Amino acid sequence: MVFSLIAIPSPLTTTIYLPLKSPNLYSQKHIKMSKTQCSLSVSSQSKTAQFDLKTYWTTLIGEINQELDRAVPVQYPDKIYEAMRYSVLAKGAKRSPPVMCVAACELFGGNRLAAFPTACALEMVHAASLIHDDLPCMDDDPSRRGQPSNHKIYGVDMAILAGDALFPLGFSHIVSQTPSDLVPEQRLLRVIAEIARAVGSKGMAAGQFLDLEGGPNAVEFVQEKKFGEMGECSAVCGGLLAGASDDEIQRLRRYGRAVGVLYQVVDDILEAKTMKSKFDEEEKRKKRKSYVAVYGVEKAIEVAEELRAKAKKELDGFEKYGESVVPLYSFVDYAADRGFSFGESG
């Protein structure tokens, strides 16, 4: 696929480079999605800023990777740590949860250093959930991020243990590494409770269960819980670390959930467009409860449009923070358009 970027300027707005969508993703009926402007009111004295999401994102990926490398060192027993590192430090990982956490924290004036421990914990939890999702008894996926799934390298038994170990390591990392002079203890407790809620029986675990056992009517619940929870949790944790108000936390919650589901819906649309045969499509339909599998590509595109609009509507409530909200707007457009790659699969 070939992508290009367009800059959309407007008086009293922040200029953001938005991607022109691949012509294969959406039909002409839905081409309006390629011309979405992220409008952000700022003071007339402010200079127009040009936000480079790819640079912002890749810079954070480098910083987060360094933090993760230090957070999960190899120690005795070596094999379990090697299995943990294999997934946590996988090449090609976009680090979407930690990057969203940092961006949400900085929106409210929080220090990036205050967010890094929680950001790393979110990536640990995310990696653990992917390890378990890929298991033969779950989604039975042989590959992840362009390389063999954890259980294909280390075995099912070790993959289960690696995932089990990453969950508590994430919580421990938040408590032990967050600077106490930057984040009050009460905020950390709320962050830990938020992550625990997101991964538990009311969150991602519930989504995985209904993906396995639920009927086609469960597709919305499955998508929100299995994919929306991680985005919701990431945005909320960033806001909590920076001391956002309860109303602002609720906006972040709705925003993050919409972006998380949007990303997966677009993934499914892109995958459906590249199916090699009807057999492949049928196998995919049997395997997962997605909007594409249950309702078809056209309906999934409509859902994606609605999710993009919903996410941006929530961000409109952060207008008073000026240009600090631009990264969060940009994530929405990237989730829908995939305007650039990171040079790796995943």
Indicate the pLDDT class of residue 147, thresholds 50, 70 and 90: very high
Q: 326: which residues sit within 8 A by CB, 6+ positions away?
A: 14, 16, 38, 40, 49, 51
CA 69, chain centre distance (Å): 20
Q: Which of 24, 87, 3, 103 is nearest to 266 (CA)?
A: 24
CA–CA separation, 130 vs 127, rounded Å? 5
- Spell 14-28 as b/e; 16+ CB within 10 A means b: bbbbbbebbeebbee
Beta strand pairing status for 15-20 and 4-8?
Answer: antiparallel
Res 344 pLDDT > 70: no
CA 344, chain centre distance (Å): 17
pLDDT in tens, 241-254: 999 999 999 999 99
Res 299 pLDDT > 90: yes
Mean pLDDT of 287-297: 84
pLDDT in tens, 167-194: 999 999 999 999 999 999 999 999 999 9
Cα within 13 Å of Cα(238), Cβ side = 32
CA–CA separation, 53 vs 122, rounded Å? 21
Q: Exposed/middle/buried for 84, CB within 10 Å: 0-12, 13-18, 19+?
A: buried
Q: Given this model, what pLDDT does residue 270 score?
A: 92
**Range in 16-20, 234-238, 321-325 with the lowest mean pLDDT:** 16-20
| H or E element that contains 112 | helix 112-133
Q: Exposed/middle/buried for 329, CB within 10 Å: 0-12, 13-18, 19+?
A: buried
